Amino acid sequence: MELRKHQSNIVYSKRIKAGKRVYFFDIREDSKGQNFICISESRKTNEGFIKQTIVVYPEDIEKFYKAFEEVKNSLK
């Protein structure tokens, strides 16, 4: 587990390096105490870094995972 302490609402974090890109899979806690998943991509450019994030709440994770698996299997 990787915990990035400068962001106090992160409960758990996993980082994947992929060339010029870094992917983060974070579990965060919102202001009401509910956990959710943030999937972020950070990539280096000539001007610095660009970060893009999507948020998935627990009630949607199974649908998200199923769609991800379907797309992943279509890559083969």
CB atoms within 10 A of CB 55: 13
Read off the pLDDT of residues 29-38 as tens digits, 9 standing for 90 and up.
Answer: 998 999 999 9
pLDDT attached to residue 5? 47
| pTM across the whole model | 0.78
User: What domains sit in the chain, N to C, each tagged with a CATH number?
Assistant: 10-74 (3.10.450.700)
pLDDT attached to residue 8? 65
Read off the pLDDT of residues 28-73 as tens digits, 9 standing for 90 and up.
Answer: 999 899 999 999 999 988 899 899 999 999 999 999 999 999 999 9
pLDDT attached to residue 76? 75
pLDDT attached to residue 2? 52
Q: Residue 48: CB partners within 8 Å, gap ≥ 6?
A: none
Q: What single-letter amino acid sits at 63? A: K
